[in-house]
Amino acid sequence: MSENRIFAYIDILGFKKMVKDQKSNKIHSILKKFVSNESLKMNTDFEMINFSDTILFYTKSTGFDQQLFDDIVAIARMFVIEMLQHEIPVRGVITYGEFYIDIAENSKHKMFWGQGLIDAYEAEPTENIIGLFVLPEALIGYRCIESLSEVFPAQYYVKYDNRVLVNLFQRIAGIPKDAYDIDYYIYEDLDILSEVKAYLFLDNSIDRHSGKIADKYRNTLKLAEKFIYYDIRELYRLVDKNPEEHDL
């Protein structure tokens, strides 16, 4: 019997160089801190796998459920922002497919396999962008890819080369273009600060790289800028509690 489930498959980009530069311990610390988040610990519907440069968030239950899909998207987006604000580039896909989990007899060791995992692995490296893609298989709850925009505001999902991309900067995009009092939207909002730091990392990375690598960062920001109406560096000054530490 086929076991299909919703999962996010995320890859840390440039991991080999990070290991050589002895930065892998930094990644491990960020992962431990992320999974220790109280809201994640209270959510018993999901589990996480981390092996080398790969991270998976998956549903314990099989079958498609709209609420679980929304939750996986939210968790994966939070994780990507967390990594980016610590200057660790990641890219991933969210999908729904064959994903078996079994426990060996007389053992606590889990085994994972399935065509869905292979499809996610093959799809992830093809994108010339940083961020999270929703594969068509995960849109089973919708009539078609185009209908996604009918269900969610544009600030949550965007179209990219006939694909669906999760907007990473949803809190920033939620600030109205004609906001009278911007402090109302950013006051003590740590999520916005995290998004701002992630955005600045992407922006600064364009000049640090060249060719196709720089294009990945550039393409990501081009999409984000469609929904951001304020200067990011000015937002940083407004939301950061330690302005003297700014390094822009």
Please tell me the least confidently modeled range out of 72-81, 190-199, 226-235, 236-245.
Answer: 236-245
End-to-end CA distance of the chain: 54
Q: Which percentage of the chain shows pLDDT scores above 70?
A: 77
Q: Is residue 51 predicted with pLDDT exceeding 60?
A: yes
pLDDT (tens digit, 9 = 90+) per residue, 148-178? Answer: 555 555 567 777 766 788 888 888 877 777 7
Q: So what's the pLDDT on residue 189?
A: 63
The pTM for the full model equals: 0.84
Mean pLDDT value across the chain: 79
Domain covering 1-168 in this structure, CATH number: 3.30.70.1230
Size of the chain, expressed as the number of residues it contains: 248
Q: Is residue 187 predicted with pLDDT exceeding 70?
A: no
Extended strands (E) in the chain? 4-12, 46-51, 54-59, 90-98, 100-103, 110-113, 131-134, 157-160, 163-166
Q: Which amino acid is at 45?
A: D
Query: What residues have CB less than 8 Å from 133, skipping those under 6 apart?
Result: 92, 93, 94, 123, 124, 127, 160, 163, 164, 165, 166
Residues 62 and 80: beta-carbon distance below 8 Å? no
Q: Is residue 147 predicted with pLDDT exceeding 60?
A: no
Confidence at 248, pLDDT banded by 50, 70, 90:
very low
Domain range list for the chain:
1-168, 170-248
Mean pLDDT of 27-32: 78
Q: So what's the pLDDT on residue 243?
A: 47
Q: So what's the pLDDT on residue 247?
A: 46
Q: Is residue 81 predicted with pLDDT exceeding 80?
A: yes
Q: Which amino acid is at 76?
A: A
pLDDT (tens digit, 9 = 90+) per residue, 90-103? Answer: 999 999 999 888 87
Q: Which tokens is 7 given?
A: 């999962």
Q: So what's the pLDDT on residue 122?
A: 85
